[in-house]
Amino acid sequence: MAKITFVQPGGASQTVEAREGDSIMQTALAHSIDGIFAECGGAMMCATCHCYIDDDRTGAASEGEQDMLECAEDEVRDTSRLSCQITVTEGLDGLIVHLPVPVE
């Protein structure tokens, strides 16, 4: 299992064990991580699993993912990704996922 750390906008963090083959989104939901809503269930249709990843190990966002990120309610950055599109592998052990500031 890979350990993934989720960092809230205020700096609080939670490290959880993620199953290989699950998405970062599925991992967040399984561990009740605040800030990942996943309204579409991981179908890349809503951008409610938007996060920031400062790590090249996850690869680049696909063109479809980049298009969907344009719909994100939160600030989109160069490091923006949809957590439903990142599959957990052993190689992602230690990954840090930053969550956006919620829009009110």
pLDDT tens-digit readout, 18-30? 999 999 999 999 9
Q: Using CB atoms within 10 Å of the CB of residue 86, give its burial: 0 to 12 exposed, 13 to 18 middle, 19+ buried.
A: buried
Q: Using CB atoms within 10 Å of the CB of residue 58, give its burial: 0 to 12 exposed, 13 to 18 middle, 19+ buried.
A: buried
Q: What is the pTM of this model?
A: 0.94
The CB density around residue 49, as the number of other CB atoms within 10 Å, is 29
Half-sphere exposure of 90 (CA within 13 A, CB side): 0
What the chain holds in terms of domains, given with CATH numbers, is 2-98 (3.10.20.30)
pLDDT tens-digit readout, 6-49? 999 999 999 999 999 999 999 999 999 999 999 999 999 999 99
pLDDT for the residue 104: 61
